[in-house]
Structures are given as C-alpha cells and as structure tokens.
Amino acid sequence: MSFLRKQGFLLVISLLLSGLLAGCDNRHGSSARRPAATNVEVVTASIAPLRRLEKITSEIQPVRTVRIFNQEPGQVKQLVVYPGDRVKQGQLLVTLDDTLLQKRLKKARAQLNQAKVDLRRLRRLEKKKLASDELLARAITQVQLAQAEVEILQTRLSYARIHSPLNGIVTERKVEEGDITPLYSHIMTIADIEKVKIILPVSEILLNQIKPGLTAEIHIDAIANKIFTGKIIRIFPEIDTRSRKGKIEVQFTRNEENVLPGQLARVIIQSETTPRLTLPGYCIQNDNLGEFVYRVENDKATKTRITTGLQFDDRVEIINGLEAGDMIISRGFQSLSDGSRIKVKNTE
C-alpha cells in the first residue's frame, strides 16, 4: 500500500507542475503578442519663408556672334584681319576680285545709255505723229530694264567688299588670300564681346522658383577676388528629358573689360523667398517605392509617402504627403514598421 500511495503522490505533483508550466507559457505568449512601445523622438513639419541658393558652373559666351558669308563668289584678294583682332562696325574685312563684275557693269551702263537715246528719239517722233504709243511704251520699258540691270550689278559689286556688321573681335578666319570662295562660303566669325552672357543648366525644381529679373552673383576663376553681378534675362521653355534640367540666360549688369568669352564662371542663383513646408533631411527614408517618413498618429508610427522638393541646408521642402503641424519621427525609427507602437520622448 505504501508503494501505491507513493505513486499517487508523484502523479499529483506531476500534474501540478504541468499546470504551472502551461500558465507560464500562456503569460509569455500574451507578452509576445503585445510588444513594448519603442521610444522615439519627433520633430514638427513647419512652414518657414526660405530661398534656395545654388552654385552652377558654365562658360562665358558673347551675347552676339555673327558668321560672315560671302554673297558673291570670287577670289579673295585681300583679307587683313586675324583671330583676336578687334574690328569696328563698317570696317573693311575682305575684298574679292571684282574684275568681271566691273566689266558687266560697264556693259550694262552702255546699254542703259543706248536705251535712253532710243527713248528720246521716239519721243521726238511721237510729237510728229511718226511713232506709235506701243513703240514708245516699249522704249520706256527698255530704259527701266537697263536701269535695273545697272542697279543689280552695282549691288553685286558692293558684295565684293565685305564690311563688319558690328563692333567686336574676330574669333575665326576660315579662308586665306588667294582662295576661291564659292557663293555663301563661311569667311570668318566675329563676336561682340562688349556684352557677354552665361547659359546655365538649372534643375526643373529650381526653374519654377526663379524668374527673369532676379540678380545673380558671378565668380570668374581667371579673375580672383572680384565678384560680378548679373541678371537673369530669360528662361528657356524646354526641359531636357534625360537630365531633367532647363536653361536660363544670365547677362552681366555692366560691361567688364577683363571678362572674355570662354572663361569659366561660377554663378550663384537665388530663388525667390517663399513660405515652404520643410523637415530636417535626416527624418526622410527611402525604399523601393520612394521616399517616406513615419508620422505619429494615436501613439503609433504611420508610414507616410512624401514628395520632396528643394533642399535648404539641413532641411528639405515637402511638396506632398504632409501638412504643417504633423509630428514626424526623427530618431528611433530604425526598427519601426507601419503601425508600430511608439512612445514619444520629446516634443520639438
């Protein structure tokens, strides 16, 4: 009997221990289903008047560049300017051989004189009723045609002497004395360096924040310790589909003697001051779908997709997805997922 009592006692003990262990397992399972809240720090999405500064590098170009072509074929008899030479408007640049044109003009003038003699003779005969009106009309037409031919040849003869259409500097010389130049050959190029410009590539985001008339600060590598002032003259209407950039033109506000085309310039563009919704950049995260932040909502982290714009030092413009006053998790978000329980340790 003592053996049976002992066995029963052990059975009771075993059942009690199993119940205790099951109770512990249930308590641990309940704790796993409700994890502790994650401690986080937050910042507030706020609106502030800001403007963007962007430094862009490009080359200086002349405002006006003219390529000189001949309007009359012929041999180059004289070409006295070279690249780097300064020229004035109206200055003779090129002389072409005009021997044939001179002879044609002499012939045309002789024909005009003869036509005028014939017309005077017919008018005398017409007064005596010895010439018809038709003959007189033809004679008048012959004079007009001969006069037009003289004027055409005079114009062509003037094309044999090519003058500079502007004040500037010769940047290209494409022919030499003695060359035979067909019609509309490129003879030389002249650039007006009294006014220079800079064409700048600008991101499409910044492009919407600037307008013609805004000033720009210009630094030129070749001219140290001097800051130049420019102005945005025009914004080109097209965006490059690959770079997502547009173009603007900046001109110097006054003529500068030492500034030359081809020099490297660094231009600082400032956007207009505009109220913008911003966040510190370190709050923003990225995944395969784009940018997002964790927004605080009812003591939970809500994963919120956003669209960002310009960057201002350590803050980033928020174009879409948030409103002013939203509480955004700034620290402690590494282990969070959408819907995680959180506990805010600070309020900015």
* Fold adopted by 98-159: Helix Hairpins (1.10.287)
Q: Which amino acid is at 270?
A: Q
The pLDDT of residue 347: 58
Triad 81, 87, 93: Cα angle to 5°:
45
pLDDT score, position 142? 96
Q: Give residue 209's pLDDT.
A: 82
Residue whose structure tokens are 């049976």: 4
Which of 310, 303, 306 minimizes the C-alpha distance to 290? Answer: 306
Q: Does the pTM exceed 0.75?
A: no
pLDDT at 30: 47
What are the Cα distances from residue 134, in Å, to 131, 142, 266?
8, 12, 75
Residues forming CATH 1.10.287 domain(s) in the chain: 98-159
What fold characterizes domain 53-62+192-274?
Answer: Elongation Factor Tu (Ef-tu); domain 3 (2.40.30)
Regions of the chain with pLDDT less than 50: 1, 3-4, 12, 15, 21, 30-31
CA dist., res. 292 & res. 303, Å (int): 7
| Domain ranges in the chain with CATH number 2.40.30.170 | 53-62+192-274
How far apart CA 43 and CA 328 sit, in angstroms, is 5
What's at 54, amino acid-wise? E
d(CA 247, CA 199): 7
Pairing of strands 274-280, 307-312: unpaired
Report, in this order, helix, strand and coil percent for the chain, each rounded to 5.
25, 45, 30
What does DSSP say about strands 180-181 and 290-297: parallel, antiparallel, or unpaired?
unpaired
Cα separation of 196 and 221, whole Å?
16
Residues recorded for the chain: 348
CATH architecture assignment, domain 38-49+275-344: Beta Barrel (2.40)
Which pLDDT score is estimated for 74? 95
The pLDDT assigned to 250 comes to 96
Express each pLDDT in 178-187 by its tens digit.
999 999 999 9
Residues 44 and 271: their CA atoms lie apart, in Å, by 25
The span from the CA of 45 to the CA of 162, in Å, is 67
Exposed, middle or buried, 16 (CB in 10 Å: 0-12/13-18/19+)? exposed
**pLDDT tens, residue by residue, 222-276:** 898 889 999 999 999 999 999 999 999 999 988 777 888 889 999 999 887 888 8
